[in-house]
Amino acid sequence: MTGVEIISYGHYAPERIVSNREIEARLGLEAGWIKRRTGIEERRYAADGEALSDIAVKAGDMALARTGFSRGDVGLLLLATSTPDHLLPPSSPLVAHRLGLANAGAIDMAGACAGFIYALTLADCFVRTQGTPVLVIAANILSRRINEADRASCVLFADAAGAVLLAPSARAEAGIQGAHLAAKGEHYDLITIPGGGSRKPFSKIRDPQDVLMVMNDGKAVYAAAVDMMTECAEKALAKAGMSTAEVDHLIPHQANERMMNTLAHQLHVPPERLRSTIENFGNSSAATIPFTLSATAADRPYAAGETILMTAAGAGLTGGAAVFRL
Protein backbone atom coordinates (compact mmCIF):
# COMPACT_ATOMS: atom_id res chain seq x y z
CA MET A 1 0.00 0.00 0.00
CA THR A 2 1.17 3.51 -0.82
CA GLY A 3 0.58 6.80 0.88
CA VAL A 4 -1.35 9.66 -0.71
CA GLU A 5 -0.17 13.25 -0.93
CA ILE A 6 -1.98 16.45 -1.78
CA ILE A 7 0.70 17.72 -4.13
CA SER A 8 -1.14 20.87 -5.18
CA TYR A 9 -4.34 22.83 -4.74
CA GLY A 10 -6.18 25.64 -6.50
CA HIS A 11 -9.17 27.92 -6.11
CA TYR A 12 -11.25 30.45 -7.99
CA ALA A 13 -13.94 32.98 -7.08
CA PRO A 14 -15.75 35.13 -9.66
CA GLU A 15 -14.94 38.83 -9.86
CA ARG A 16 -18.39 40.19 -9.02
CA ILE A 17 -18.63 41.09 -5.32
CA VAL A 18 -22.11 41.19 -3.77
CA SER A 19 -22.16 43.07 -0.47
CA ASN A 20 -24.51 42.61 2.46
CA ARG A 21 -25.74 46.15 1.86
CA GLU A 22 -27.17 45.10 -1.50
CA ILE A 23 -29.03 42.12 -0.07
CA GLU A 24 -30.20 43.88 3.09
CA ALA A 25 -31.67 46.70 1.01
CA ARG A 26 -33.55 44.19 -1.16
CA LEU A 27 -34.95 42.32 1.84
CA GLY A 28 -35.68 45.40 3.93
CA LEU A 29 -33.23 44.39 6.68
CA GLU A 30 -31.33 46.74 8.96
CA ALA A 31 -27.65 47.32 8.22
CA GLY A 32 -25.45 44.67 9.81
CA TRP A 33 -28.22 42.05 10.13
CA ILE A 34 -26.49 39.49 7.89
CA LYS A 35 -23.00 39.89 9.38
CA ARG A 36 -24.27 39.49 12.95
CA ARG A 37 -26.08 36.24 12.16
CA THR A 38 -23.75 34.60 9.64
CA GLY A 39 -20.31 36.21 9.82
CA ILE A 40 -20.56 36.93 6.09
CA GLU A 41 -19.62 40.41 4.84
CA GLU A 42 -19.70 39.75 1.09
CA ARG A 43 -19.80 36.94 -1.44
CA ARG A 44 -19.02 36.37 -5.13
CA TYR A 45 -21.49 35.75 -7.97
CA ALA A 46 -20.59 34.41 -11.40
CA ALA A 47 -20.81 36.74 -14.38
CA ASP A 48 -23.51 36.37 -17.01
CA GLY A 49 -22.46 33.57 -19.31
CA GLU A 50 -20.05 32.07 -16.76
CA ALA A 51 -20.97 28.42 -16.23
CA LEU A 52 -20.07 25.81 -13.64
CA SER A 53 -17.54 24.18 -15.96
CA ASP A 54 -15.80 27.56 -16.42
CA ILE A 55 -15.08 28.11 -12.74
CA ALA A 56 -14.21 24.43 -12.19
CA VAL A 57 -11.62 24.61 -14.98
CA LYS A 58 -10.02 27.70 -13.43
CA ALA A 59 -9.57 26.06 -10.04
CA GLY A 60 -8.36 22.81 -11.57
CA ASP A 61 -5.95 24.61 -13.88
CA MET A 62 -4.41 26.45 -10.93
CA ALA A 63 -3.82 23.17 -9.10
CA LEU A 64 -2.27 21.52 -12.16
CA ALA A 65 -0.15 24.54 -13.13
CA ARG A 66 1.44 24.74 -9.69
CA THR A 67 3.30 21.47 -10.33
CA GLY A 68 5.46 20.10 -13.12
CA PHE A 69 3.05 17.21 -13.24
CA SER A 70 2.02 15.76 -16.60
CA ARG A 71 -1.71 16.17 -17.17
CA GLY A 72 -1.71 12.95 -19.15
CA ASP A 73 -0.83 11.05 -15.97
CA VAL A 74 -4.03 12.00 -14.13
CA GLY A 75 -6.22 8.91 -14.00
CA LEU A 76 -9.49 10.34 -12.67
CA LEU A 77 -11.36 13.62 -12.27
CA LEU A 78 -14.03 13.82 -9.57
CA LEU A 79 -16.26 16.90 -9.79
CA ALA A 80 -18.36 17.60 -6.69
CA THR A 81 -21.20 19.94 -7.66
CA SER A 82 -24.90 20.59 -7.20
CA THR A 83 -25.09 23.04 -10.11
CA PRO A 84 -23.85 21.28 -13.27
CA ASP A 85 -23.94 23.01 -16.64
CA HIS A 86 -26.81 20.73 -17.71
CA LEU A 87 -28.92 17.92 -16.25
CA LEU A 88 -27.39 15.78 -18.99
CA PRO A 89 -24.58 15.27 -19.92
CA PRO A 90 -22.49 15.49 -16.73
CA SER A 91 -20.07 18.42 -16.58
CA SER A 92 -16.94 16.49 -15.59
CA PRO A 93 -16.05 15.10 -19.05
CA LEU A 94 -16.08 18.64 -20.44
CA VAL A 95 -13.94 19.90 -17.53
CA ALA A 96 -11.47 17.04 -18.04
CA HIS A 97 -11.27 17.81 -21.76
CA ARG A 98 -10.66 21.51 -21.21
CA LEU A 99 -7.95 20.73 -18.64
CA GLY A 100 -6.16 18.40 -21.04
CA LEU A 101 -6.71 15.25 -18.94
CA ALA A 102 -6.57 12.99 -21.99
CA ASN A 103 -6.26 9.73 -20.04
CA ALA A 104 -8.63 10.41 -17.15
CA GLY A 105 -12.06 9.10 -16.32
CA ALA A 106 -14.49 11.76 -15.11
CA ILE A 107 -17.67 11.76 -13.07
CA ASP A 108 -19.93 14.29 -11.32
CA MET A 109 -20.70 13.71 -7.64
CA ALA A 110 -23.86 15.31 -6.23
CA GLY A 111 -23.26 15.23 -2.47
CA ALA A 112 -24.50 18.75 -1.71
CA CYS A 113 -22.29 20.54 0.86
CA ALA A 114 -20.59 17.26 1.80
CA GLY A 115 -19.68 16.45 -1.80
CA PHE A 116 -15.99 17.25 -1.44
CA ILE A 117 -15.58 14.92 1.55
CA TYR A 118 -17.13 12.07 -0.43
CA ALA A 119 -14.98 12.84 -3.47
CA LEU A 120 -11.79 13.13 -1.40
CA THR A 121 -12.46 9.78 0.29
CA LEU A 122 -13.03 8.05 -3.04
CA ALA A 123 -9.96 9.76 -4.54
CA ASP A 124 -7.73 8.59 -1.70
CA CYS A 125 -8.89 4.99 -2.25
CA PHE A 126 -8.36 5.23 -6.03
CA VAL A 127 -4.82 6.56 -5.65
CA ARG A 128 -3.93 3.78 -3.20
CA THR A 129 -5.39 0.92 -5.23
CA GLN A 130 -4.61 2.12 -8.76
CA GLY A 131 -1.38 4.03 -8.14
CA THR A 132 -2.54 6.91 -10.29
CA PRO A 133 -3.12 10.63 -9.52
CA VAL A 134 -6.63 12.00 -9.07
CA LEU A 135 -7.84 15.58 -9.46
CA VAL A 136 -10.74 16.52 -7.18
CA ILE A 137 -12.66 19.71 -7.94
CA ALA A 138 -15.63 21.05 -6.01
CA ALA A 139 -17.50 23.93 -7.61
CA ASN A 140 -20.92 25.58 -7.48
CA ILE A 141 -22.79 28.49 -8.98
CA LEU A 142 -25.46 28.79 -6.32
CA SER A 143 -26.40 32.36 -7.26
CA ARG A 144 -28.50 30.85 -10.06
CA ARG A 145 -30.41 28.71 -7.56
CA ILE A 146 -31.07 31.38 -4.93
CA ASN A 147 -34.67 32.21 -4.12
CA GLU A 148 -34.36 35.92 -3.36
CA ALA A 149 -37.53 35.78 -1.24
CA ASP A 150 -36.13 33.05 1.02
CA ARG A 151 -34.22 35.06 3.63
CA ALA A 152 -32.79 32.00 5.39
CA SER A 153 -30.84 30.86 2.33
CA CYS A 154 -30.33 33.86 0.03
CA VAL A 155 -28.05 35.65 2.51
CA LEU A 156 -25.66 32.67 2.66
CA PHE A 157 -24.93 31.25 -0.73
CA ALA A 158 -22.22 32.15 -3.22
CA ASP A 159 -20.19 30.91 -6.20
CA ALA A 160 -16.66 29.46 -6.03
CA ALA A 161 -14.46 26.48 -6.88
CA GLY A 162 -11.62 24.65 -5.16
CA ALA A 163 -9.36 21.81 -6.27
CA VAL A 164 -6.79 19.37 -4.91
CA LEU A 165 -4.44 17.11 -6.85
CA LEU A 166 -3.70 13.81 -5.10
CA ALA A 167 -0.85 11.48 -6.06
CA PRO A 168 0.90 8.35 -4.72
CA SER A 169 3.50 9.01 -2.06
CA ALA A 170 6.47 7.06 -0.79
CA ARG A 171 5.42 8.21 2.68
CA ALA A 172 3.03 5.48 3.80
CA GLU A 173 1.75 7.66 6.64
CA ALA A 174 0.44 10.35 4.25
CA GLY A 175 -3.22 10.54 3.21
CA ILE A 176 -6.55 9.85 4.88
CA GLN A 177 -6.01 8.37 8.33
CA GLY A 178 -9.69 8.03 9.16
CA ALA A 179 -12.98 8.91 7.49
CA HIS A 180 -16.64 8.63 8.35
CA LEU A 181 -19.53 9.22 5.95
CA ALA A 182 -23.15 9.61 7.02
CA ALA A 183 -26.68 10.13 5.72
CA LYS A 184 -29.84 11.05 7.63
CA GLY A 185 -32.75 10.86 5.23
CA GLU A 186 -35.25 11.73 7.92
CA HIS A 187 -34.10 15.32 7.31
CA TYR A 188 -34.44 15.00 3.54
CA ASP A 189 -36.81 17.96 3.12
CA LEU A 190 -34.96 20.60 5.16
CA ILE A 191 -33.16 22.06 2.13
CA THR A 192 -34.76 21.49 -1.27
CA ILE A 193 -35.07 22.53 -4.88
CA PRO A 194 -38.56 21.08 -5.42
CA GLY A 195 -38.83 21.05 -9.21
CA GLY A 196 -36.78 19.68 -12.07
CA GLY A 197 -36.25 16.08 -10.99
CA SER A 198 -38.24 12.93 -11.65
CA ARG A 199 -40.53 13.62 -8.66
CA LYS A 200 -41.67 16.92 -10.16
CA PRO A 201 -40.42 17.18 -13.75
CA PHE A 202 -40.21 20.45 -15.62
CA SER A 203 -43.39 19.61 -17.51
CA LYS A 204 -45.31 19.75 -14.21
CA ILE A 205 -43.82 22.99 -12.89
CA ARG A 206 -46.27 25.89 -12.68
CA ASP A 207 -44.38 28.17 -10.29
CA PRO A 208 -40.90 29.30 -11.49
CA GLN A 209 -39.73 29.39 -7.86
CA ASP A 210 -39.99 25.59 -7.75
CA VAL A 211 -36.54 25.41 -9.38
CA LEU A 212 -34.98 27.63 -6.70
CA MET A 213 -33.57 26.65 -3.33
CA VAL A 214 -35.69 26.72 -0.19
CA MET A 215 -34.52 26.20 3.39
CA ASN A 216 -37.68 25.09 5.15
CA ASP A 217 -36.46 25.43 8.77
CA GLY A 218 -33.21 27.31 9.33
CA LYS A 219 -32.98 26.43 13.04
CA ALA A 220 -33.50 22.73 12.33
CA VAL A 221 -30.84 22.83 9.60
CA TYR A 222 -28.38 24.49 11.97
CA ALA A 223 -28.93 21.96 14.76
CA ALA A 224 -28.88 18.89 12.50
CA ALA A 225 -25.80 20.07 10.60
CA VAL A 226 -23.78 20.84 13.74
CA ASP A 227 -24.68 17.45 15.22
CA MET A 228 -23.76 15.61 12.01
CA MET A 229 -20.48 17.47 11.48
CA THR A 230 -19.44 16.93 15.09
CA GLU A 231 -20.39 13.25 15.12
CA CYS A 232 -18.64 12.55 11.80
CA ALA A 233 -15.50 14.36 12.94
CA GLU A 234 -15.36 12.43 16.21
CA LYS A 235 -15.83 9.10 14.43
CA ALA A 236 -13.21 9.93 11.78
CA LEU A 237 -10.73 10.84 14.53
CA ALA A 238 -11.52 7.61 16.38
CA LYS A 239 -10.87 5.59 13.22
CA ALA A 240 -7.56 7.41 12.85
CA GLY A 241 -6.69 6.69 16.48
CA MET A 242 -6.21 10.40 17.06
CA SER A 243 -7.53 13.15 19.33
CA THR A 244 -8.33 16.74 18.41
CA ALA A 245 -5.14 17.75 20.23
CA GLU A 246 -3.26 16.22 17.27
CA VAL A 247 -5.19 18.24 14.68
CA ASP A 248 -3.14 21.08 13.21
CA HIS A 249 -5.86 22.58 11.02
CA LEU A 250 -9.66 22.39 11.17
CA ILE A 251 -11.36 23.18 7.85
CA PRO A 252 -15.11 22.67 8.21
CA HIS A 253 -17.75 23.38 5.61
CA GLN A 254 -18.12 27.16 5.65
CA ALA A 255 -21.87 27.24 6.26
CA ASN A 256 -21.92 30.22 8.58
CA GLU A 257 -19.51 31.58 11.17
CA ARG A 258 -21.60 30.71 14.22
CA MET A 259 -21.90 27.10 13.09
CA MET A 260 -18.16 26.83 12.53
CA ASN A 261 -17.31 28.34 15.92
CA THR A 262 -19.81 26.04 17.64
CA LEU A 263 -18.26 23.04 15.90
CA ALA A 264 -14.72 24.05 16.91
CA HIS A 265 -15.87 24.53 20.52
CA GLN A 266 -17.59 21.13 20.65
CA LEU A 267 -14.51 19.43 19.20
CA HIS A 268 -12.20 21.35 21.59
CA VAL A 269 -10.16 22.78 18.71
CA PRO A 270 -8.52 26.14 19.55
CA PRO A 271 -9.74 29.08 17.41
CA GLU A 272 -6.28 29.63 15.90
CA ARG A 273 -6.43 26.21 14.24
CA LEU A 274 -9.71 26.99 12.47
CA ARG A 275 -9.34 28.12 8.84
CA SER A 276 -12.09 30.27 7.39
CA THR A 277 -12.93 32.23 4.26
CA ILE A 278 -16.62 32.78 4.95
CA GLU A 279 -16.42 36.51 5.72
CA ASN A 280 -15.42 37.48 2.18
CA PHE A 281 -16.62 34.52 0.11
CA GLY A 282 -19.78 33.15 1.75
CA ASN A 283 -21.10 29.62 1.44
CA SER A 284 -20.39 27.88 -1.89
CA SER A 285 -21.54 24.45 -0.65
CA ALA A 286 -19.10 21.62 -1.51
CA ALA A 287 -16.50 24.11 -2.77
CA THR A 288 -15.91 25.77 0.62
CA ILE A 289 -13.45 23.22 2.04
CA PRO A 290 -11.03 22.95 -0.93
CA PHE A 291 -11.43 26.69 -1.61
CA THR A 292 -10.45 27.49 1.98
CA LEU A 293 -7.61 24.94 1.96
CA SER A 294 -6.12 26.65 -1.09
CA ALA A 295 -7.00 30.30 -0.47
CA THR A 296 -5.50 30.40 3.04
CA ALA A 297 -2.28 28.55 2.14
CA ALA A 298 -0.29 31.62 1.10
CA ASP A 299 -0.64 33.32 4.49
CA ARG A 300 -0.62 30.10 6.52
CA PRO A 301 1.51 27.50 4.69
CA TYR A 302 1.11 23.81 5.45
CA ALA A 303 3.98 21.51 6.42
CA ALA A 304 4.53 17.85 5.61
CA GLY A 305 3.27 15.66 8.43
CA GLU A 306 0.61 18.11 9.62
CA THR A 307 -2.96 16.87 10.02
CA ILE A 308 -6.11 18.49 8.62
CA LEU A 309 -9.57 17.65 9.95
CA MET A 310 -12.31 18.34 7.39
CA THR A 311 -16.01 17.90 8.13
CA ALA A 312 -19.24 18.87 6.34
CA ALA A 313 -23.00 18.40 6.29
CA GLY A 314 -25.58 19.44 3.74
CA ALA A 315 -28.91 18.79 2.07
CA GLY A 316 -30.21 15.28 2.27
CA LEU A 317 -28.86 15.23 4.92
CA THR A 318 -25.47 14.01 3.74
CA GLY A 319 -22.33 14.45 5.76
CA GLY A 320 -18.86 13.22 6.44
CA ALA A 321 -15.43 13.93 7.85
CA ALA A 322 -11.87 13.03 6.93
CA VAL A 323 -8.58 13.21 8.82
CA PHE A 324 -5.85 13.87 6.26
CA ARG A 325 -2.14 13.78 7.03
CA LEU A 326 -0.13 15.95 4.68
CB 135 within 8 A of CB 101: yes
Are both 49 and 156 inside the same structural domain? Answer: yes
Are both 158 and 49 inside the same structural domain? Answer: yes
pLDDT in tens, 240-254: 999 999 999 999 999
Q: Which of 154, 232, 253, 256 does the annotation list as catalytic?
A: 253
Calculated CA dihedral for residues 266, 259, 252, 140, nearest 10 degrees: 160
- 179: confidence class by pLDDT, cuts 50, 70, 90: very high
Are both 129 and 277 inside the same structural domain? Answer: no
Q: Which of 20, 140, 256, 283 does the annotation list as catalytic?
A: 283
What are the two backbone dihedrals, phi and then psi, of residue 213, each rounded to the nearest 5 degrees? -75, 140
Q: Which of 141, 169, 197 is a domain's end point?
A: 169
Are both 162 and 181 inside the same structural domain? Answer: no
Are both 20 and 161 inside the same structural domain? Answer: yes
pLDDT in tens, 287-305: 999 999 999 999 999 999 9
Is 253 labeled as catalytic in the residue annotation? yes
How many domains are there within the chain?
2
Are both 158 and 180 inside the same structural domain? Answer: no
Q: Which of 20, 113, 147, 256 does the annotation list as catalytic?
A: 113
Are both 312 and 278 inside the same structural domain? Answer: yes
Are both 164 and 179 inside the same structural domain? Answer: no
Is 261 labeled as catalytic in the residue annotation? no
Integer Cα distance of 273 and 4 in angstroms: 23
Q: Which of 118, 152, 169 is a domain's end point?
A: 169
Integer Cα distance of 262 and 41 in angstroms: 19
On the question of a cis peptide bond just before residue 89, with omega within 30 degrees of 0, the verdict is: yes
- pLDDT of 193 reads 85
Q: Which of 142, 169, 196 is a domain's end point?
A: 169
Integer Cα distance of 52 and 48 in angstroms: 12
Residue type for 162, please? G
Are both 311 and 247 inside the same structural domain? Answer: yes
Q: At residue 1, does pLDDT exceed 60? A: no
Please report, for the domain that includes residue 182, its CATH number.
3.40.47.10
DSSP H helices, 39-186, are 52-65, 92-98, 115-130, 151-154
Integer Cα distance of 151 and 136 in angstroms: 32
Are both 184 and 321 inside the same structural domain? Answer: yes
Domain range holding 88? 3-169
Integer Cα distance of 19 and 31 in angstroms: 11
Are both 46 and 186 inside the same structural domain? Answer: no
Higher pLDDT, 176 or 206: 176
- pLDDT of 192 reads 87
Are both 95 and 185 inside the same structural domain? Answer: no
Q: What is the mean pLDDT of residues 226-242?
A: 98
Q: At residue 149, does pLDDT exceed 90? A: no
Integer Cα distance of 196 and 88 in angstroms: 12
- How many other CB atoms sit within 10 Å of the CB of residue 279? 15
Q: What is the mean pLDDT of residues 162-178?
A: 96
Is 113 labeled as catalytic in the residue annotation? yes
- 191: confidence class by pLDDT, cuts 50, 70, 90: confident
CB 114 within 8 A of CB 179: no
H or E element that contains 229: helix 218-240
- 80: confidence class by pLDDT, cuts 50, 70, 90: very high
Residues contacting residue 295 through CB under 8 Å, at least 6 positions apart: 11, 162, 277, 281
CB 112 within 8 A of CB 83: no
Integer Cα distance of 284 and 306 in angstroms: 26
Q: At residue 128, does pLDDT exceed 80? A: yes
Q: What is the mean pLDDT of residues 214-221?
A: 86
